[in-house]
Amino acid sequence: MLLTGELGAGKTAFVRGLARGVGADPEEVASPTFVLLTSYAGRLTLHHADLYRLHGDGDERELGLEELPGPGGVLAVEWAERLHRAPWPRSWRVHLAHAGGELRRITVQDAA
């Protein structure tokens, strides 16, 4: 999943819900802004990348995102607009936007 939206739009909260759905502990999910990539074990392995601090194409390649999620895994990429290209043949673009107060507008599109 390629997650986009401004700061505070709920990208990490969305990933917590995704963690719950794949059987990982949603309480473990935190914004990996300083780590860039974190994995959580569950029924499926959830790989959570945050590209907010990504500085260039070299950083992107060093993360090895093109090798993820692998069999039995799901990959959620926050700040996906910072990818130079999405290397996955099949993925979903999820855009989150503030809709007033605690409400969010979520748009899901096939990224192909």
pLDDT band at 87 (very low <50, low <70, confident <90, very high): low
So what's the pLDDT on residue 81? 86
Contact 15, 3 (CB under 8 A): yes
Residue 58 has pLDDT above 60, yes or no: no
DSSP H stretches of helix in the chain: 11-22, 57-63
Does residue 55 register a pLDDT over 80?
no
Sketch out the chain's domains with CATH numbers: 17-110 (3.40.50.300)
The Cα–Cα gap between 41 and 84 comes to 28
**What is the reported pLDDT for 40?**
93
Q: How far is Cα 66 from Cα 27, in angstroms, rounded to an integer?
A: 27
Average pLDDT over every residue of 57-81: 78
Q: The tokens of 10 are what? A: 């709920």
Examine the pLDDT at 57 and tell me if it is beyond 60.
no
Q: List 98's β-bridge partners, or say none.
A: 104
pTM to 2 decimals?
Answer: 0.85
